[in-house]
Amino acid sequence: IFQTYVPCGTNRCQLVIDGGSTLNVISKAAVDRLHLQAEPHPHPFHVCWVDNTKLPVTERCLVPLQLGPCHERLYCDILPMSVAHVLLGRPWLYDHCVRSCGRENTYTFQHEGKNITLTPSNPAVRPTKDVQPTLLLREKASEHRL
């Protein structure tokens, strides 16, 4: 999962990029918190989540995002979600001709002739030093000498 934080208007938003999503989505809570103007969706539809929950998509809004030096406003469908404030899916990836690097978990696209590479944020929670790793397999002394 690619997750980072980006400027969104005068605030910072948690952003997730998901190449498996067919939508660009903003959470209803983020719309309220950022005081964005919702508008009726021109083509309402339903989405199904992994748990087979069916949700209507009846509204969308223009979301101001800053991805590096690239400032843009893009339409996102409004849905209740807790995974992030903004989720960018295949529509955004396609429109920006984005290249992903799975090894480094980065996304690169061009803006005004320059490459912009998005890098993930560090995890919010880090283990403390006194946490011992969990061993799923124990090595034998003979295996250790290899």
Specify if 22 maps to a domain: yes
Report the number of distinct structural domains present in the chain: 1
Specify if 6 maps to a domain: yes
DSSP state of 123: P
Specify if 118 maps to a domain: no
User: Which structural domain range is residue 45 located in?
Assistant: 2-92
Strand partners, 73: 64
| pLDDT category of residue 52 using cuts at 50, 70 and 90 | confident
Domain containing residue 77: CATH number: 2.40.70.10
- pLDDT tens digits for 103-142? 999 999 999 999 999 999 976 544 445 444 443 444 444 4
Report which residue type is found at 108: T
CB 37 within 8 A of CB 75: no
Specify if 41 maps to a domain: yes
Specify if 130 maps to a domain: no
Specify if 25 maps to a domain: yes
- pLDDT tens digits for 18-51? 999 999 999 999 999 999 999 999 999 999 877 8
